[in-house]
Amino acid sequence: MSEQFPKKISKKYSTTFSTDQSGFYKIIIAAHCEKSQDLRVEVDGIKLREIPAEEKPQYMNIPPAWNGAQLKGLKKTVVFILKLDKDDHTITFISNNEAVIEGFNTEYIPDSQNIQFNLEKQAQDGDRRPWYTFVLIDLPLKSITADVTVKWHFLDGDDAKLIIDNTIKTNPYSIFHRNWVWSAGILRKIFGIEREEKTFTENLGSGVHYIEFWADRTPTLHSVKLDLGFVSLKRTPTVDDPQWTGNFADDTEEMILARLVFGEARNQSVEAMKGVAWVVKNRLMANRSDWGNTYHLVILPPDQFSAMNPEDDNFPILIDPLNTESQVTKDAWKKAYEVAREVINGSVDDPTEGALFFHSADYPQQKFITQDVPGAIFAIKIDDMLFYKI
């Protein structure tokens, strides 16, 4: 990540960063927009929308975006908190007209029960507008603690508002500033209680959650502490880190299909790999209860594909494809994964034209069509793989 900030952008701009271990991360992005400008961000293609969801999705006028009409050129900081695998990741900035990205950085989070932000940030002077937003992606929220100072100025004072998932935390001690849970006043100034730490217990389940701090005038946000409770950290295998976790449920659809393709056809051409992958997809589309309605259900039963059987010689290889010194094998894994991805998203045609079964050429064809799958109809031979319809 060698980009220089601040950076003015128009329309779309992407940058990448790497994580050296799987775990929880915070991605901190500061930016500002003028009145006719807006900005939103996607992390690894995650497209966030309003909470609660409405009939027509909103992508710009939501807490994790920058709305120029609200900000009027002032800075807003958005902190994304999510689980990331050891891999390269992409942040995409999408602007309406122009926006200025002031900077971003990523940090590893060692403890989900004690996520600390020691900020000591004073808001720029301005009227009621978004200031800091914390975005939890596929995570729960047990509680949040914030330490804020609001000071009284001549005829006016600082205020800070807290909104969690579109619900405003109210101030029971003020009529005129009921929606500003931290609100300055002359008495607070006299008695020296301008700084106050508050804890809010939420106990929200896992999902997408928005925690918004709004500023009026110049409050100071000293610190924020998030307690997500205990969150199990399951690693999700990736093409560059495909080692099996011990549970195929942790595999994505692309991963489980790539394992099968690699196990069955790593020494075959890409066309044969496509044939194997399409057999799985054709079974899925057949909508038969004995095959299942997900890639995992189609692939994992032990009597369906021999490579997925723990007793099969291919099994130790497909659960850890890159554990080899052979560059040929490593390249075959990358090809298998790409084939799986293309077949799932429908970007490649089916070379078997609807096959539902296959076997290698060293297996007796007559036995297959009379004993294994009686009535199977030979469709095509690709390299050393024979494909059948019914």
Distance CA 110, CA 29 (A): 20
For position 13, what pLDDT does the model report? 94
How close are the terminal C-alpha atoms of the chain, in Å?
53
Considering only 81-90, 112-121, 234-243, which range has the smallest mean pLDDT? Answer: 234-243
For position 56, what pLDDT does the model report? 83
Work out the average pLDDT over 78-103. 94
Confidence at 11, pLDDT banded by 50, 70, 90: confident
Range 122-144 burial, b when 16+ CB lie within 10 A, else e? ebbebeebbbbbbbbbebbbbbb
User: Phi and psi (nearest 5°) for 218?
Assistant: -130, 55
Q: Say yes or no to pLDDT of 269 above 70.
A: yes
Distance CA 218, CA 152 (A): 10
CA angle 340, 341, 346 (to 5 degrees): 100
Higher pLDDT, 221 or 234: 221
Q: Say yes or no to pLDDT of 142 above 80.
A: yes
Work out the average pLDDT over 347-376. 95
For position 55, what pLDDT does the model report? 78
Confidence at 303, pLDDT banded by 50, 70, 90: confident
Closest CA to 45 of 97, 86, 84, 99: 84
For position 174, what pLDDT does the model report? 77
What is the β-pairing status of strands 7-19 and 167-168? unpaired
Range 172-193 burial, b when 16+ CB lie within 10 A, else e? eeeeebebbbbbbbeebeeeee
Confidence at 191, pLDDT banded by 50, 70, 90: low
What percent of the chain stands above pLDDT 70? 98
What is the β-pairing status of strands 195-216 and 159-164? antiparallel
Distance CA 160, CA 150 (A): 7
For position 278, what pLDDT does the model report? 98
Closest CA to 139 of 93, 72, 221, 82: 82
Cα-Cα-Cα-Cα dihedral of 17, 204, 40, 224, to 10°? -70
Question: pLDDT digits over 112-137, tens only?
Answer: 899 999 999 999 999 999 999 999 99
Q: Say yes or no to pLDDT of 250 above 80.
A: yes
Q: Say yes or no to pLDDT of 1 above 60.
A: no
Other Cβ atoms less than 10 A from the Cβ of 386: the count is 22
Q: Say yes or no to pLDDT of 138 above 90.
A: no
For position 85, what pLDDT does the model report? 85
The H helix count followed by the E strand count for the chain is 8, 18
Confidence at 360, pLDDT banded by 50, 70, 90: very high
For position 189, what pLDDT does the model report? 67
Confidence at 254, pLDDT banded by 50, 70, 90: very high
Other Cβ atoms less than 10 A from the Cβ of 369: the count is 17
Confidence at 176, pLDDT banded by 50, 70, 90: confident
Considering only 144-153, 244-253, 324-333, 377-386, which range has the smallest mean pLDDT? Answer: 244-253
What percent of the chain stands above pLDDT 90? 81
For position 112, what pLDDT does the model report? 87
Distance CA 378, CA 352 (A): 10
Distance CA 67, CA 58 (A): 12
DSSP label of 46: B
Q: Say yes or no to pLDDT of 290 above 90.
A: no
Going through the chain in order, the beta strands assigned E by DSSP cover 7-19, 23-32, 38-43, 66-67, 75-84, 87-109, 115-122, 129-149, 152-153, 156-157, 159-164, 167-168, 182-183, 195-216, 220-227, 357-360, 377-382, 385-389
To the nearest whole number, what is the mean pLDDT of the chain? 93
Q: Say yes or no to pLDDT of 311 above 80.
A: yes
Work out the average pLDDT over 286-304. 91
For position 2, what pLDDT does the model report? 55
Tell me the three state secondary structure of residue 359.
Answer: strand
Residues 191-195: contacts with CB within 8 Å, 24+ apart?
A: 194/149, 194/150, 194/151, 194/152, 195/147, 195/148, 195/149, 195/222
